[in-house]
Amino acid sequence: MQRYTAERTPDSADQIWIVEHPPVYTLGLNGKREHLLANNGIPIVDSDRGGQITYHGPGQLVVYLLADLRRLNQGPRQTVSLLENAAIATLSQYGIAAAARPDAPGVYVAGCKIASLGLRIKRGCCYHGISINNDMDLGPFRDINPCGYPGLQVTQLADLGVNIANHELAVPLVHQLLKAIEP
């Protein structure tokens, strides 16, 4: 992502990457290590995205948006909202009522975080993106203050009665993103 963003030109295509990570904690640029509450052996990777600490692991859908925000006429806050709204619309297709919070980026269901996001913007282009907890071991979240919020509870689609594979969840999420960014 970093290399693609550094080397892109005004004519470079925007990209959406769909991934699933092995167990890892990522710490954003302003992340504080004190939000790691216990050393459980899961590696910690310093990331150049915004935000604090989060957990990524198998069963979590991660979608990275590599986009020229100038070309899309989007600012940073608009891009955060675009990602949040795409996740909210996707979850609604599965009967899940979700919402964004103005005080804490991400997507929430009944006060529990189901999707986290973090972006990095360089030269008018963004990278990193959003992760949605689908069907994963949520235990590692207990060893951190998710996104820097002590006591923040997390949830996932599987716990809300939706049992789908990550590649199935990716389809409506990417569709919502494309709908939002295509002219």
CB-CB contact of 140 with 23 (8 Å): yes
Annotated catalytic residue, options 112, 125, 126, 147: 147
Q: Return d(Cα 52, Cα 138) in angstroms, integer.
A: 18
CA distances from 73 to 63, 67, 114, 180 (A): 21, 11, 28, 12
Residue 142 annotated as binding site: no
Is residue 131 a known part of a binding site? yes
Q: Which of 115, 46, 32 is nearest to 81 (CA)?
A: 115
Integer-rounded Cα radius of gyration of the chain: 16
Q: Report whether 51 belongs to an annotated binding site.
A: yes
129 labeled binding residue: yes
The maximal CA–CA distance of the chain, rounded, in angstroms, is 46
CA distance 76 to 30: 17
Q: Is 55 annotated as a binding residue?
A: yes
Q: Is 175 annotated as a binding residue?
A: no
Active site residue 147: yes
Annotated binding residue 15: no
Is 124 labelled as part of a ligand binding site?
no
Question: What are the residue numbers of the active site?
Answer: 147
Query: Which parts are annotated binding residues for substrate?
Result: 49-56, 116-118, 129-131
Annotated binding site: 49-56, 116-118, 129-131
